[in-house]
Structure 1
């Protein structure tokens, strides 16, 4: 009997083992089938993990928008007041000609900064028409349940589709799109130039404040009352704080805004928006894998891209850039001229 079992045991054990392995394999397979999704990849997983952050941005950016706007206005007012009080009190007795030049340039910059910020804040970026058919429809917005034209994207903060959407700017509490893109860019340009203006006319003030000239004997022999000394010390204390604040703010804005302006300048040179930049990069990579080259249909070349964006192809030309201008951008934001059509019309 033992001999018979000893012969059958090597056959039975593998059979039982194979049966358990098959059942375990089926259980794992059935479990995986419940969660199977052909679209799951690293990008899908990353989007899922970042969903809480997207939810926070969508729900709180619009609420915090007015706070950001008030912060920008407050910072601008304080910045200008310090430039007036400290700058004028130094340059007027030092050199009146420099004071006149600084007042002319400074007010020109201030008017342009204020105007372009106001226009970028109050001007609607443009939305697809809801009560009429569009001439060109390239996709359908699942959130708005409405057709979308070329270069139109849905803003999750505004909860609307935006014509030629670039991005949603919390500092303006507004989307940057077809009708206010130029105002936004010109606000950055004039604000950045304003920091250079402050650095040029404020360098000597800061230098003499932190490294004052040596007093002469006649100046040191002057007798001042205690009240006069206290008032001078108090003024010097606040002047010191204002100069430090103005200097740090100027350098910070110069670097941060300069980098942002350089990035948007690159986009304008290429005939792209922020959103299109990411889309075009993916398309370039996809087409390069199959041996094709991506061509941006809205790129007319650097020179023509800038002319069309700044309005240099219209009457007035440089006046549209140097002084506040309300000229409307080219087109209606729905139908777009492409570089192929542009070359055919030349």
Structure 2
């Protein structure tokens, strides 16, 4: 019995679980992402749209257009990341360049290719296996994966910014006056005062009251009842707003951190796996340089596929199915004489 043997024994159940159930759990995760996204969008239309329409109809038109542009990109890139194969080395083909032989596939392994134990296949330019996609992130779907995360972070930020007023009133303020008026939406936005009977009524009705019996100095001021306060008075809407707030903040923190990490990796021309490998190599040799780092600008153009006349506006800001540059079997390196366009 040694320490390494003991660690291997402890990790063996984890490896067995991943190999046998990760594929099935991936479908559950995809379903959860779909339901969660659909729920947040539905609540935004149910609560947020009437709220902003009451405040400013012209701004609401812009918010609907901008929000649906974000939603279109989120849905498109997530669907493409889930359904697009990441790329695999051709079976039985003789490769011009091979980094070695895969010990599990027993076949030539191109540069930057790694074996996925969940998919049980070699993946071209493998970044990682993502259970939320039920798919590996590799050469052919890495752009879809990154843009999905970027647009999702932008989407939840959009909801947080334009829903913060609703969230503040609903979550932190519990106005009992609003609860008494939730069945009379015509009073929204009117100044209200309390009459002799202790009932809240519009000021115009108070002024018509006999001033001798109820002088104006006895009129008790109350705040304006807003759309957000009426939302707060509805228990189902309160729960929905709380759900959206928790979901959006959690997604912003989780995916925001991943976007920052992958942004740095793309700028350095390396995948997540290569980041860990290259970090170890730099510790062993201070002169080590990533051979696939072509410079930040070229790395980004290559990753986004902005070659052959493609533009950022048409092929990044809007959904595009264009394939990445190259085949994933061979790669330009910093030592190549050929200048990449």
Q: Do these two structures clear the TM 0.5 threshold for a shared fold by scoring above it?
A: yes
- Conserved 8 A contact 1:167-1:177: yes
Q: Does 1:217 align with 2:193?
A: yes
- Conserved 8 A contact 2:48-2:163: yes
| Secondary structure, aligned partner of 1:161 | strand
* TM norm structure 2: 0.80
Aligned to 1:137: 98
Any idea what the Cα deviations from partners look like across 1:73-126, whole Å, max 9, x if unmatched?
000110100011001121112210111011011000000000000000000000
- Conserved 8 A contact 1:69-1:173: yes
Distance 1:344 1:177 in 2: 24
Distance 1:284 1:47 in 2: 28
Runs of at least 5 residues in structure 2 that lack an aligned partner in the other structure: 178-190, 206-229
Which structure shows the bigger proportion of residues in helix conformation? 1
Distance 2:10 2:235 in 1: 50
Q: Does 1:334 align with 2:329?
A: yes
Deviation at 1:137, TM superposition (A): 1.1
Aligned to 2:320: 325
- Conserved 8 A contact 2:84-2:140: yes
The RMSD of aligned alpha carbons is 2.5
Mapping of residues 1-346 of structure 1, within 5 Å: 46-47=7-8, 49-209=10-170, 210-211=172-173, 216-217=192-193, 220-221=200-201, 236-288=234-286, 293-318=287-312, 319-341=314-336
Distance 2:174 2:163 in 1: 15
Distance 1:282 1:297 in 2: 15
Deviation at 1:131, TM superposition (A): 4.2
Runs of at least 5 residues in structure 1 that lack an aligned partner in the other structure: 1-34, 224-231
* TM norm structure 1: 0.79
Change (3 A) 1:345 1:313: closer
Distance 2:244 2:340 in 1: 52
Change (3 A) 1:153 1:100: same
Any idea what the Cα deviations from partners look like across 1:210-258, whole Å, max 9, x if unmatched?
43788621781379xxxxxxxx899701110001001111111111110
- Conserved 8 A contact 2:232-2:238: no
